[in-house]
Amino acid sequence: MERRGHRMQWSDALGYEEVMTFLRSTPANLFFKDTECRYLFISDVRTFFPYGEGQEEDVLGKTDLEIWSSEEQARFYYEQDQKVLATGKGTSFITEVPREDGTAYYQIKKNPVVLEGKIIGIVGLIGDITERVRLEKQAENWAIHDELTGLYNRNYLKVKGAEQLKGAIMPITIIMGDCNYLKRVNDAYGHEYGDLLLKRVGRVIRENLPPESVALRMGGDEFLIACSHFSAEEAEQLIERLHGELARQSDDRLKLDVAFGYHTVTEGPFDYTAVYHAADRDMYRNKRKNR
């Protein structure tokens, strides 16, 4: 620190209490650890740590192994400290901590403290990024969900569908569905009723979705159900059940009638595009037959 042309020591400029006040007023949660990974200082013990309105004595002089009830979480934090001390390089990561209002997200950055060529400890910052992460997750959720029906949308196939299909177990079945009377409802009663028809169809599909399956609204009045470990016989049973439930929930204005088709792969490599088109062709065959 420079003042009036000569160098001043911390002790000349600020007293101990003033220094501590500065440290405790940092915008992020600041901490120091010794070479045994024990906390020497923490600017705000009330956030991040699992104590609520805890005191410094709950943390100071302890390692993360002694603080956290989750052994996996404690071990990870401790090993990150050891890595910084062993390599002399900083680290940064995002961690999840359960809170009463849901999962909280923190970004933790750690650097070694070096004095005269020797590492004497660790300095770190804990930043609460909960709101940012929650907004990002919410945006991601909106991006892959159909707002009208609550089912996944076509984007889901690009973002997560391929990964999910890789883990699917044979036989794999794709079921396609197309609403028969949407245009008639839109013309007779308006698009508000058309939207209501799609919502009801989406709800019936969602409530009857088999385990290890995922349902999408592909756009317009077209729906897709992808089923892992699902045979052709099970597909026919599901379609019959869906027809019955759609009929039960129909009324004078909204006839919930959907043409379904499916294709099942029992072995070999799974080609989604080929199976999708095969199911789509089967659906249109059934649609023409019903007409």
pLDDT digits (tens, 9 = 90+) for 155-168: 998 877 766 766 68
pLDDT band of residue 4 (cuts 50, 70, 90) is: very low
Per-residue model confidence as pLDDT tens digits over 121-144: 999 999 999 999 998 988 888 899
Share of the chain above pLDDT 90, in %: 70
pLDDT score for 5:
47
Residues 70-82, mean pLDDT to the nearest whole number: 96
Q: Is the pLDDT of residue 2 over 50?
A: no
Residues 51, 121: one domain? yes
Parent domain of 26 = 2-134
Residues 178, 121: one domain? no
**Which CATH number fits the domain that encloses residue 78?**
3.30.450.20
Residues 104, 165: one domain? no
Q: Is residue 103, in this structure, part of any structural domain at all?
A: yes
Per-residue model confidence as pLDDT tens digits over 248-274: 999 988 999 999 999 999 988 888 899
Omega of the bond leading into 211 within 30 degrees of 0 (cis) = no
Element (H, E) at 128: strand 118-128
Q: Of 120 and 138, which is predicted with more confidence?
A: 120
Q: Is residue 160, in this structure, part of any structural domain at all?
A: yes
Which domain-ending residue is among 134, 163, 179? 134
Per-residue model confidence as pLDDT tens digits over 212-235: 899 999 999 999 999 999 999 999
Residues 108, 161: one domain? no
Residue (of 123, 127, 87, 90) closest to 108 by Cα position = 127
Residues 230, 250: one domain? yes
Pseudo-torsion of CA 46, 51, 53, 57, nearest 10°? -80
Residues 104-126, mean pLDDT to the nearest whole number: 96
Residues 68, 169: one domain? no
Q: Is the pLDDT of residue 10 over 70?
A: no
Residues 224, 277: one domain? yes
Q: Is residue 121, in this structure, part of any structural domain at all?
A: yes
Q: Of 1 and 120, which is predicted with more confidence?
A: 120
Residue type, 254: L
Which tokens hold the place of 54?
């805890």
Q: How many domains does the chain have?
A: 2
**Which CATH number fits the domain that encloses residue 201?**
3.30.70.270
Contact 123, 32 (CB under 8 A): yes
Which domain-ending residue is among 134, 157, 190? 134
Is the pTM higher than 0.85? Answer: no
Residues 20-49, mean pLDDT to the nearest whole number: 88
| Average pLDDT along the chain | 90
Q: Is the pLDDT of residue 75 over 80?
A: yes
Residue (of 40, 1, 4) closest to 23 by Cα position = 40
Residues 162, 199: one domain? yes
Q: Is residue 57, in this structure, part of any structural domain at all?
A: yes
Per-residue model confidence as pLDDT tens digits over 198-210: 999 999 999 999 9
Q: What is the b/e burial string over 15-47, where b = at least 16 CB atoms within 10 angstroms of the residue's CB?
A: eeeeeeeeeeeeeebbbbbeeebbbebbbbbeb
Q: Is residue 139, in this structure, part of any structural domain at all?
A: no
pLDDT score for 56:
78
Which domain-ending residue is among 134, 160, 179? 134
78: Cβ contacts below 8 Å, ≥ 6 apart: 37, 63, 64, 65
Residues 116, 173: one domain? no
pLDDT score for 157:
86
For 2-11, 25-34, 103-112, which range has the lowest pLDDT when averaged over its residues?
A: 2-11
Residue (of 286, 269, 254, 290) closest to 176 by Cα position = 286
